[in-house]
Structure 1
């Protein structure tokens, strides 16, 4: 969807539509780089974790500086999404102030401050258009390009036995769930752009086909389920107004039914990933960590405010659940704020009339809600918050153009004798 450009005499006051500077795409790419993380598989060329952290943190600082440089007058648009993130940031600072999680908690609060501040500066260009959707697809496609390059360069390093032969990042330390998430998100968005005639089939195939291959190699069930359910909900929101959506939904249903019947055994093998029934029922051991976290005795203060921002682990084991991670680090109040983020975005999406922007927002919100059950990230700077930020930009009302006031030219005073001569 192309944003309307203002006339030459338009004044870009807060809440007006303007041409999005190219540097905004750079800022978005730096935010994505910051959220890639520093822990993951072993790479072909060993990268010290300190170096990776320096790169990711430097990317965030640079993103904030560039956003400030392109928005020097601090023109922002009202955003309930970023406002709730600001409240979550304030809560994180309060919960981290007692240093129960160490000085690392304060550093994470500083990181979240820059992250939220950059989003505030970018709200000036949130106008309900597809600008940030395209930035999102391009940047994550570039990330997946490094994954594909690592797979070609060293298949053994990209499909290690340590991860059960699942695809990892061999050039940058990315885990299978990360790769699956990135692939699923850009597949879903590209399919919706194709249905909305915002891209051609060739360009869509360049994104969708390689991403599907990488998603399949990661064996990531959460990303696959999020992609299917999110797309189903998004396309369902377009069925009444889009013939292309109706045809796609019908064909996808038929193909899915045939695949489920004809390849049931292969799909079951891929879905189980060679796990035992006990391991599968405990969600690869996650349920044990969740149970231990929930039965841990807590003071009233820690119950309400949490222990401060940490590394999303409990007793050295990953929590892998956004709600429990937020409960552990930001308490019950944090859980309420995160729930408010999803409810506000979802409620606004349901109230919007059917459109491509609404469908993309529904897909992103649905995907994040599904992934929150087995992945952490909704309470801190993460790709999931970037997905929701794109959804918020899509749900923003198109801003009106405020024309510049033309200075009034003083009228030349005509002498009385001249007026009498004109009258005669």
Structure 2
């Protein structure tokens, strides 16, 4: 895993083994095609709704590309893992169980035929992760894939900002950064930037990449995060990194130095730039609008007050577009309750609790710190963002965490063939 974090950079040792499609990987690495499959999964979860792009893209075309990428990812994973070697784990098992309430509720067609389509998408998404679980060995290989793919997405955002600053920071979004080449919203961009910043910082502290390569990822990502004015992503980054680095302070001198300097710099910034930071967080909103989470609470109250049958309470109304009454829900738990019911909430909560419990029980390590960061980030973001109950970047973040917490496969020693009795020495024949 040592080496460049950038897409197209010099590959590490883990990227070179089994480069050809279908080639058997060595024990120390994974095929290059795994990175391609991960990139297709990332493309699938980008979504089709967002800001107006410089070149108008029909939503049907975007959906064709995103769904086609998922089918391609599943097909490549199946070709790469024809023997269906998988590594069972609690995360994938619970994610598979989440399909049950999704299918039960969607079969009633309360949300239309689109619900069954989303169930099929979720099934392909989970199936691809099962096929990729063969290469989940507790190492940070998938962390590198994650950083590369989302940095490529952020590169397209930066390119759109350079080509057309007006389209990239429209008045419709209050001057916040959006995707001008691909329809991405400010929360999406902020999420991608925050996640790869945190992972890159942890790789530097774990001496798994050099500072120059990490700076190429961290610095522009910080700029894009600041331009999105995304509070959830910023808080998730800060709190997630604090928890992750805190898990390393007893065993890593670099983590202790980074933690100390970060606290000092944060204190100075809080004192010297208090008014600027407050203005950035408020984004020109009133205190009332800020305290009501930009109007989200009104949607949440209406959703909870809506009458539901027993079946809808248990299994939801079917997979939809994470909205209620035409307005976005913007809360993973309420979105899951609406679409997959109390059963879905129990399964999603079990996913977070199990992953967090496994991470806490592991000894301090870089893999454990990266997993803690991803789990805590998803838990924090779940309060104001939806996505934990359907194919989304959040499930990919948790999949990376699961790969980091997976136990490496132990190779089975070849069996020794039996020696014919006639070739045994006399003393051995007597004992037999």
TM-score norm. by structure 2 comes to 0.92
Corresponding residue for residue 71 of structure 2: 61
1:389 maps to what in 2?
399
Give the alignment partner of residue 399 of structure 1, picking from 409, 414, 422: 409
Distance 2:143 2:420 in 1: 48
Which one of 355, 370, 373 corresponds to residue 363 of structure 1?
373
2:120 equivalent to 1:113 = no
Shift in Å, 1:411: 8.7
SS, match of residue 394 in structure 2: helix
- Aligned-pair distance for 1:19? 2.9
Aligned Cα root-mean-square deviation (Å): 2.2
Count of residues in Structure 1 that have an aligned counterpart in Structure 2: 409
Match in the other structure for 1:72: 82
- Is 1:262 equivalent to 2:247 in the alignment? no
**Residues 184-212 of structure 1, C-alpha deviation per residue, up to 9 Å, x if partnerless?**
00000000000000010100100000000
Give the Cα separation in 1 of the matches to 2:148 and 2:14: 22
Task: Please say if 1:239 is aligned against 2:249.
Answer: yes
For 2:358, the equivalent position in structure 1 comes to 348
Q: Indicate if the aligned counterparts of 2:198 and 2:237 stay in contact, CA closer than 8 A.
A: yes
The answer to whether the 8 A contact 1:17-1:400 is kept is no
Q: Which residue of 2 aligns with 1:372?
A: 382
2:22: which partner in 1?
A: none
* Residues 361 and 391, structure 1, Cα contact 8 Å, conserved in 2: yes
In structure 2, C-alpha distance between the alignment counterparts of 1:391 and 1:113, rounded to whole Å: 20
The separation in 1 between residues aligned to 2:388 and 2:124, in whole angstroms, is 16
C-alpha distance in 2 between matches for 1:407 and 1:286: 68
- Which residue is 2:231 aligned to? 221
Matches within 5 A, 1:164-179: 164-179=174-189
Shift in alpha-carbon separation, 1:282–1:413, aligned structure 2, 3 A: closer
* Structure 2 partner of 1:422: none
* Rounded Cα–Cα distance in structure 2 between residues aligned with 1:388 and 1:243: 28
Alignment of 1:14-413 (within 5 A): 17=27, 19-405=29-415
Deviations 1:354-377 (A, max 9, x none): 000000000000000000000000
SS in structure 2 of the partner of residue 228 of structure 1: helix
Give a deviation string over 1:325-345, Cα, whole Å, max 9, x none: 000000011000000000000
Q: 2:197, 2:420 → 1: CA distance?
A: 60
Distance in 2 between residues matched to 1:18 and 1:73, nearest whole Å: 20
SS at match of 2:407: coil
TM-score calculated relative to the size of structure 1: 0.93
Q: Per-residue CA shift, 1:363-400, capped at 9, x if unaligned?
A: 00000000000000000000000000000000001221
- SS of alignment partner, residue 397 of structure 1: coil
Q: Which has the higher contact order (CA 8 A, sep 6+)?
A: 1
How far, CA to CA, are the matches of 1:216 and 1:24 in structure 2? 32
1:207-260 Cα shifts (integer Å, max 9, x gaps) = 000000000000000000000000000000000000000000000000000000
Give 1 or 2 for the bigger CA radius of gyration.
1
CA distance in 2 between partners of 1:56 and 1:412 (Å): 65
